[in-house]
Structure 1
């Protein structure tokens, strides 16, 4: 019987503090002739991969705010973290006098703050340094509001174009009802995203 050989796999996740170390028995892989790549893929969350591709493709430079924001929303939607971006951090729970805040309520608030900081970090890492400078102390929702203010003109132009497209959209003869409804829903979703439901 030969000794077990191990493969050490280190995976660095989006922030430097998250490091996943795995030790996989090489014999287990080799004896079953399993390729290593699918094993690693299943161990790495797809959301980490989506965040990584977001980092590689999209950096906020200013003129690309609308596209950058759309991509950020998609990444956060995949990770089920969009609410941290779209909702402000709830106020710190305060107990009535003589009582204590329930631990689960305090834990939920702490988790919300942590999630907001994580999203804010993701946003900051995907911005040009000139844009980052004034946004660093903000949480995700505050940062989004500030960015929307900075790039309001772009948002207004997209809003105007989306409104025009919505009102001029007609179902074509050959077009199925479902594709027409999906197109209209896309316009409505875009209007909501731009703050005009």
Structure 2
């Protein structure tokens, strides 16, 4: 009997393809937290300074390395095949996330800038109903609001 893992289902249904970066990241974070491996994205690999390092430091490094492998598996399995191939050789899960952010994470800025430009430059055309202008301005405002919300979600 096949087991059902709701976390795997979340990642299967929300694979990173590029334009969906923010949604993908929003779905990936709770999965990594539930697997107790999210910390590898925010902490550096422990280094062992010398040969006389206590066993606890060796254990901490071993745990970090295992958790990094698990995080990489979750991240890579939630990407399209093309993106998997681009990231598979990266050693740290945090490097994969940083590269993904560099590739796709700035899209919300473009949406916000375009919405601000439209907000500033849109003028009501003489002879058209006020209703049409108001609806257009509401749409521009919503685009700006979405850009701001996504920026908050990314952090």
Query: What range is the shorter-chain TM-score in?
Result: 0.5 to 0.7
Specify which structure has the higher proportion of helix. 2
Task: From 131, 137, 145, give the equivalent of 2:89.
Answer: 137
- 1:88 shift after superposition: 4.1
Task: From 100, 103, 120, give the equivalent of 1:147.
Answer: 100
2:57 is the counterpart of 1:84:
no
TM-score normalised by structure 1 residue count: 0.53
- The aligned counterpart of 1:179 is none
2:69 is the counterpart of 1:109:
no
2:146 is the counterpart of 1:194:
no
Kept after mapping to 1: 8 A contact 2:11/2:28:
no
1: CA distance, partners of 2:43 / 2:86:
19
Kept after mapping to 1: 8 A contact 2:22/2:154:
no
Which runs of 5 or more structure 2 residues have no equivalent in the other structure? 116-143
Q: For 1:88-141, what per-residue CA distance to the aligned partner results, in whole angstroms no more than 9, with x for missing partners?
A: 43242112xxx5111111111111111111111111111111111121122210
- The aligned counterpart of 1:55 is 11
- The aligned counterpart of 1:17 is none
RMSD: 3.1
Distance change (3 Å), C-alpha of 1:158 and 1:72:
farther
Which runs of 5 or more structure 1 residues have no equivalent in the other structure? 1-8, 12-47, 169-186
2: CA distance, partners of 1:133 / 1:79:
24
Q: Which has the larger radius of gyration?
A: 1
Q: Which structure ranks higher in relative contact order (CA pairs < 8 Å, sequence separation ≥ 6)?
A: 2
How many residues are treated as equivalent by the alignment?
A: 125
Kept after mapping to 2: 8 A contact 1:84/1:141:
yes
Kept after mapping to 2: 8 A contact 1:84/1:140:
yes
Kept after mapping to 2: 8 A contact 1:88/1:142:
no
1: CA distance, partners of 2:12 / 2:82:
19
2: CA distance, partners of 1:122 / 1:80:
12
2: CA distance, partners of 1:159 / 1:121:
33
